[in-house]
Amino acid sequence: MPPIRRLLLPLLAAPALMLPAMAQEPTSSTTPDVNSKGFYATLGAGAAWPQNLNGSTSVFGANVSGNYSLNGGFALETGLGYDFGTVRGELTYLYDNASLNTLSVTALGSTGTASITDGNVNTNSVLASAYVDIPTGSRWVPYLGGGLGYTNIGWGAFTARANNVTVGFNSGSQGVLGYQGKVGLSYLASKTTDLFVEGTYQGTTGFTVDSVNYDPLSSWGARIGARYRF
The domain ranges of the chain are 46-229
Write the pLDDT tens digit of every residue in 124-158: 999 999 999 999 999 999 999 999 999 999 998 88
Whether the pLDDT of residue 53 is over 80: the answer is yes
The residues, ordered by sequence, that sit 6+ positions from 21 with a Cβ below 8 Å of its Cβ are none
Q: How confident is the model at residue 211 (pLDDT cuts 50, 70, 90)?
A: confident
> Mean pLDDT throughout 187-212?
94
Q: How confident is the model at residue 2 (pLDDT cuts 50, 70, 90)?
A: low
Whether the pLDDT of residue 201 is over 90: the answer is yes
Measured distance CA(99)–CA(116) in Å, rounded: 10
The residues, ordered by sequence, that sit 6+ positions from 228 with a Cβ below 8 Å of its Cβ are 40, 41, 42, 192, 193
Measured distance CA(227)–CA(108) in Å, rounded: 54
Tell me which of 2.40.160.20, 3.40.50.970, 2.60.120.620, 3.40.50.720 is the CATH number of domain 46-229: 2.40.160.20
Whether the pLDDT of residue 17 is over 80: the answer is no
Neighbours of 52 (CB within 10 A): 13
Q: How confident is the model at residue 169 (pLDDT cuts 50, 70, 90)?
A: confident
Residue 187 pairs with which residues in a beta bridge? Answer: 140, 195
Confidence (pLDDT) at 18 = 44
Q: How confident is the model at residue 1 (pLDDT cuts 50, 70, 90)?
A: low
Q: What residue type is 17 in one-letter code?
A: L
Confidence (pLDDT) at 15 = 46
Work out the percent of the chain whose per-residue pLDDT is above 90. 57
Whether the pLDDT of residue 57 is over 60: the answer is yes
Residue pair 158/114 in contact (Cβ under 8 Å)? The answer is no
Distances from the Cα of 101 to the Cαs of 61, 67, 146, 147, in angstroms?
Answer: 27, 11, 29, 29
Mean residue pLDDT of the chain comes to 84
> Mean pLDDT throughout 118-127?
92
> Mean pLDDT throughout 71-80?
96
